[in-house]
Amino acid sequence: SQCHAVDQDASGKGEVISKQLTVGQQKPEVSFLVFFIVRQINVAEEVGEPSALAGLALLRLQSAVVTAMSRIRQRVVQGFAVFSVVSLLLWLATFLYGSFYYSYMPKATFSAPVHYYYRTNCESSTSFLCSYPVANISLMRNKKHVLTFGQAYRISLQLEMPESPANQELGMFMIRTTCFSRDGGHVASSARSSMLRYRSNLLRNLGTMLFLPAFLTGVTEQKQVLEVELFSDYTDDPYAPSDTAVIEILSSKVQIYSSELYIHAHFTGLRYLLFYFPVISALVGVSSNFIFLSVLFVFSYMRLLLRIEWKPEQVRGGQDNTQLTAHSILSLAAVHECV
């Protein structure tokens, strides 16, 4: 009768442990430990000896340590997975923003030296130059157009001219600019006038006396730098883009040290924000991309989880086997105690 009672008690506990084992199927390393600890607790409660109670305390401590280590390991794995996913999404968001920025934003400034050429085989000896100084500037860099379609540009010419008597007597002179396409077609042209700034003889003499040490050592020179605006709002034609620009100074007596062509882009709208507020634009762009990619990843992950289907027969069969195993183990243990 006692063995029958123990067997019934084992059957009842087997159902409890079977539930624990059913939950423990997701964690196999914990299921057998739970069964062993419950079994030892029952033995210790029935015996009531100090050694059994000490063993019970050790088993409970071991169970707590194993559970804590399992949770810590699970948290570490989950943290590493979350960190990896967040890092990947952040890298993708930064890459997408950088790709958009470098493909959408044109070059803000462009400069090129201007080298003039002219004919000197003159029949007349009154002038050394037989033609006007002309320069041909390419608007291509690495086989790509410098000017972006639809973008407004300011094109200017910088002239470094000496304050010589010839330039002072020259007065005003004209600068003509013509842009040509690849096939030689005329795209745009402009004509601008310029001259040296006037300085009286008294001011020139005072400046010479004041800066005489600098003039003698070569630190500075008696020259003026003129900036002539050739195009104030130039927009390239997408059907006939400009490949070259021809600059011609309509004077055979002009004297020039050096010359430089400058092209500055006038940004408006989104390009204005991206260029003048790069940090804020980068933060907003990367954050938007990161949020979009995160939402897309979450929806994809949830859809993947919903597509996983468990077979009901396998689930019921697994639960029945677990209950049978737990009941058999407890029954054998109870019979062994009775014997």
As a whole number, mean pLDDT of residues 306-328 equals 51
Instruction: Say what percent of the chain tops pLDDT 70.
Output: 71
The residue segments making up the domain with residue 333 are 2-99+315-338
Q: What is the pLDDT of residue 272?
A: 93
Q: What integer pLDDT is reported at residue 237 of this predicted model? A: 85
Residue 271 located in a structural domain: no
> 25 with 132, same domain?
no
Helix then strand then coil, in percent of the chain rounded to 5, is 55, 20, 25
Based on the domain organization, do 165 and 232 belong to the same domain?
yes
Question: Is 177's pLDDT higher than 90?
Answer: yes
| Mean pLDDT, range 89-94, rounded to an integer | 94
The Cα 242–Cα 239 span in angstroms is 10
User: How much is the pLDDT for 302?
Assistant: 86
Handedness of CA 276, 280, 283, 288 (dihedral sign): negative
Question: Looking at residue 51, what is its pLDDT?
Answer: 60
Query: Is residue 158 located within the same domain as residue 183?
Result: yes
Which pLDDT belongs to residue 5?
Answer: 44
121-142: average pLDDT: 77
329 shares its domain with 249: no
Among 68-82, 90-104, 162-176, 180-194, which is the least confidently predicted range? 68-82
Distance CA 11, CA 334 (A): 10
Give the model's pLDDT for residue 337. Answer: 46
What is the rounded average pLDDT of the residues 293-315?
A: 74
Percent of the chain with pLDDT over 90: 35
**What is the pLDDT, as a whole number, of residue 94?**
94
pLDDT at 123: 64
pLDDT score at 2: 42
Same domain? For 55 and 90 the reply is yes
Regarding whether 125 and 34 lie in a shared domain, the answer is no
Please state, in angstroms and rounded to a whole number, the distance separating the CA atoms of residues 260 and 252: 19
15 in any annotated domain = yes
With 70 as the cut, is the pLDDT of residue 293 above it?
Answer: yes
Q: What is the CATH number of the domain that holds 198?
A: 2.60.120
User: How many whole angstroms separate alpha carbon 91 and alpha carbon 137?
Assistant: 41
- Our measurement of the distance from residue 227's CA atom to the centroid of its chain's CA atoms, rounded to an integer in Å, reads 38
Written as one string, the DSSP assignment of 180-231 is E-TTS-EEEEEEEEE-PPP--HHHHHHHHHHTHHHHHHTSS-SEEEEEEEEE
Element (H, E) at 149: none
Does residue 323 lie within any of the structural domains?
yes
Number of domains in the chain: 2
Distances from the Cα of 93 to the Cα of 87, 88, 192, 291, 300, angstroms: 10, 9, 48, 9, 17
Same domain, 55 and 140: no
Q: Take residue 106 and report the two structure tokens written for it.
A: 């044109």
For residue 144, name the pLDDT band (cuts at 50, 70, 90): confident
- DSSP string for 37-79: HHHHHHHHHHH--HHHHHHHHHHHHHHHHHHHHHHHHHHHHHH
CB 238 within 8 A of CB 82: no
The pLDDT value given to residue 319: 47
